[in-house]
Amino acid sequence: MVFEKSACIEPMYSELPFLERFQAAGRDGFAYVEFWSWTDKDLDAVRAAAQDAGVGISGFNGDAELSLIDPSQKQAYLDFLKRSVDAALKVGARSVTIHSNGLGEGGMVLNSYPELSDTVKLCTMFDTLRACAELAEASGIRMNLEPLNITTDHVGNFLATTRMAAEMTRLIGSPMLKVLYDVYHMQLNEGSLCDNIRAYGDQFGHVHVADAPGRHEPGTGEIFYPRVLRCLEEAGYQGLIGFELIPAASTAQAVKAIQAL
């Protein structure tokens, strides 16, 4: 199976002005693009750039600095998520990505909430995710819940394992609430990539690819991506493969490595 590809055009194509990255990604064979934030974008210009380039928008982050695990933030979180859904509808995006903790500059975890027990964090996340699923079902915009690595990029993040994310989405049981499985993050946190894909792949709504360590293109680190992709196929995954990576040398070289897969 040949998976459709999405390029994250925040770290990729960074040598170009943002709106020119859509055309560049389309020329390189990406059917979709994705990006991190929407509040700093001209949404009309983004929609036009995607349409002109003939590419879809797979998604962007939907929760910014707000947290799924802080009970005092539940209403503010959902209010902002509704704005993110409106933005997704405006630009024609398929999904928004959501996280357990609020993230700041460079993905830094803003608050790990040491004063809250794991019980409070879990119950709050579950309760808020149910409301997220309702919003997703009403709007047609999927929510993808992403565990992050806590070793390197997002120290203090609560949601750190495939199992916790997938068990949450299974319990809620909405087809519009799935897991964003980031192979790079999960290699750093837990390894056992193929075992986890077999166990939880039915819950994946989107997959992110970068090699580890370094977060560069496949072939620069320790992950054997041909086997990972075969395992995703065997698990029945039919979604997009999103290349959220920092080119080791240049975007052009990273694209060659992607095409070699």
| H helical segments located in 60-117 | 74-91
> Looking at residue 64, what is its pLDDT?
85
Examine the pLDDT at 225 and tell me if it is beyond 90: yes
- Residues 261 and 256: their CA atoms lie apart, in Å, by 9
Examine the pLDDT at 1 and tell me if it is beyond 80: no
Which residue type does 1 have?
M
Query: What is the residue-wise DSSP string for 147-214?
Result: ---TTTT-TT-S---HHHHHHHHHHH--TTEEEEEEHHHHHHHT--HHHHHHHHGGGEEEEEE--TTT
pLDDT single digits (tens) 144-162: 999 999 999 999 999 999 9
Beta bridge partners of 242: 6, 208
Contacts of 24 (CB under 8 A, 6+ apart): 13, 16, 251
Q: Find how far residue 26's CA is from the centre of its chain.
A: 20
Examine the pLDDT at 233 and tell me if it is beyond 80: yes
Structure tokens at 69: 């695990």
> Looking at residue 2, what is its pLDDT?
82
Taking residues 67-80, report their average pLDDT.
Answer: 98
Examine the pLDDT at 230 and tell me if it is beyond 90: yes
Q: Strands, E, within the chain: which ranges?
A: 5-8, 32-34, 56-61, 93-98, 142-145, 177-182, 204-209, 241-243
Examine the pLDDT at 261 and tell me if it is beyond 90: no
Examine the pLDDT at 25 and tell me if it is beyond 90: yes
Per the rule left: phi > 0, alpha: psi between -120 and 50, beta: everything else, 191 is: left
Which residue type does 37 have?
S
Cα-based angle 250, 254, 259 (whole degrees, multiple of 5): 145
CATH 1.10.3720.10 for domain 5-260, yes or no, is no
Examine the pLDDT at 119 and tell me if it is beyond 90: yes
> Looking at residue 120, what is its pLDDT?
98
- Residues 129 and 106: their CA atoms lie apart, in Å, by 25
Which pTM does this prediction carry?
0.97
Q: How many CB atoms lie within 10 A of CB 135?
A: 20
> Looking at residue 65, what is its pLDDT?
94
Percent of the chain topping pLDDT 90: 98
pLDDT single digits (tens) 168-212: 999 999 999 999 999 999 999 999 999 999 999 999 999 999 999
Give the SS3 label for residue 50. Answer: helix
pLDDT single digits (tens) 95-110: 999 999 999 999 999 9
- Residues 242 and 30: their CA atoms lie apart, in Å, by 9
Average pLDDT, the chain: 97
Cβ atoms of residues 237 and 10 within 8 Å: no
